[in-house]
Structure 1
Amino acid sequence: MQSYGQFCPVAKAAEILGERWTPLIIRELLCHPQSFNELRNGLPLISPTLLSNRLKTLEHRGVLRRECSEKGVAYCVTDAGEELRTVITEMGVWGQRWARSNLAREDLDPTLLMWDIHRRLDIKHLPAGRTVIRFEFDVCLKDPGYDIDLLIHSPLNVMTGVWMGDRALHEELKSHTIRLAGDTALKESLPDWFLLNVFSGVRPASDSDQGGRCGD
């Protein structure tokens, strides 16, 4: 990003964080260290070239570092990157309150939704060993190839709405908009292990929060 030509620390921070995709890359790495391909799972629309360029920039700026192991190269945040956790969290809170998605078609991404969901499953409420849970939306995704313990069928916009806190899970189950089939224990414990998005509890700003116009 071109320099703002200002000594102000807000300007200097914006030169690093204001580039397209950069806050989302940091968001992903604050979850845990990730490989290049794992980052692309959480950022499915970014091109490999652009992701590579952004990673190099953030490494040069001291926000992240590369760690090499027998499994390959993983990217993780430095102390400087970890200090951005509050910044990224507050961006999410602000976005959930003031820039809440209306779940337009272009915002619905089943791959990203499943990637986000898998990070929030509370596995201590799931049976020991392999448990296969299949989500069926109005799109076709890859079959896991194992016998299914629980089938969850839902329109994509409904499940995304539940995930983001715009819809109540129990109401969608009651109206059969979301349908479950399979293991009884898994169905009954769904609210325990199916944790929602970390920002799902942030309520949208009401019209009264907007305040009056200048001069009103």
Structure 2
Amino acid sequence: MLEVTASYGQFCPVAMAAEIFCTRWTPLVLRELLCGSCRFNDLRRGVPRMSPTLLSKRLKELVQAGIVENRKAADGVMEYHLTPAGEDLREVVMTLGFWGQHWVETQHSLQKLDPSLLMWDMRRHLDPTPMPSRRCTVLFLFPERPAGQQRYWLVVDGRDVDVCSTDPGFEIDLYVTSSLRTMTAIWMGIATVRTEMAQGRLELDGDPEMASSMQQWLGLSPFARERPRAGKAA
């Protein structure tokens, strides 16, 4: 059985599960682990506003609770992997995300934007299949952001996808210019590449094949298929 270190003092499965799952940041750490991040630095990129000290503390708590286990990779780096108990939380985390997409006010959520988190999320869900077989570099430009948050490079080489906040030195195949709000709306399935281009909120310049297939290779957030409820602002 899983070990619980804090208690609501109630002998109730909901209370006992909440003691593990509902501590601050824990659902987001679990989201990152469920999305495939297993190294500390990758986990940090998925929760950029969480301090390294607190992330380390939460991981230790999850290991102690039997939800996460430590493994040393071939290169000697420590990795974090979900146990069967942790994998069983996948449906809980996904359901929570679908609930948020369906019920939480869209305009409110679009005020909480983080370009590095958006790019990291797009990076791990990107589908390179529709892209040319050569190495491709896409530069995303968010002109309204502060200087250090305006440019992000996605580098796609076969099945390998990386995101850079500094120029990797490769020739740019496609320039994508929009506000961060517009790109987040596209990623969340609230808008589409075609509609945002038609409205003049998204500009694509470069390889015509990559531009025309952007909606396909960009993909969507795993929660995008859950449409907002009727009457919810978009």
Structure 2 length-normalised TM? 0.84
Structure 1 residues not aligned, in runs of 5+: 209-216
1:76-129: CA deviations, max 9, x gaps?
111000000000000000011111442567511000000011111111111223
Structure 2 residue matching 1:46: 3-state secondary structure: coil
Amino acid at match of 2:119: M
Rate the CA distance shift 1:195–1:103 in 2: closer, same or farther, 3 A.
Answer: farther
Matched, 1:74 2:79: yes
Aligned counterpart, 1:91: 96
In 2, Cα distance between the equivalents of 1:207 and 1:171? 20
Rate the CA distance shift 1:69–1:82 in 2: closer, same or farther, 3 A.
Answer: same
In 2, Cα distance between the equivalents of 1:206 and 1:114? 29
Aligned length: 208
Any conservation in 1 of the 2:37–2:43 contact (CA below 8 Å)? no
Q: How does 1:176-215 map to 2 (within 5 A)?
A: 176-206=200-230
In 2, Cα distance between the equivalents of 1:207 and 1:124? 36
Any conservation in 2 of the 1:103–1:161 contact (CA below 8 Å)? no
Give 1 or 2: higher strand fraction.
Answer: 2
In 2, Cα distance between the equivalents of 1:103 and 1:169? 22
1:141-170: CA deviations, max 9, x gaps?
422321101110001111111111222321
Structure 2 residue matching 1:132: 3-state secondary structure: strand
Aligned counterpart, 1:212: none
What is the aligned-residue RMSD (CA, Å)? 1.7
Amino acid at match of 1:151: Y
Alignment counterpart, residue 41 of structure 1, candidates 18, 39, 45: 45
Q: How does 1:4-153 map to 2 (within 5 A)?
A: 4-71=8-75, 72-102=77-107, 107-138=112-143, 139=145, 140-141=150-151, 142-153=166-177
**Deviation at 1:190?**
1.3
Structure 2 residues not aligned, in runs of 5+: 152-165
- The alignment-based identity, stated in percent, is 44
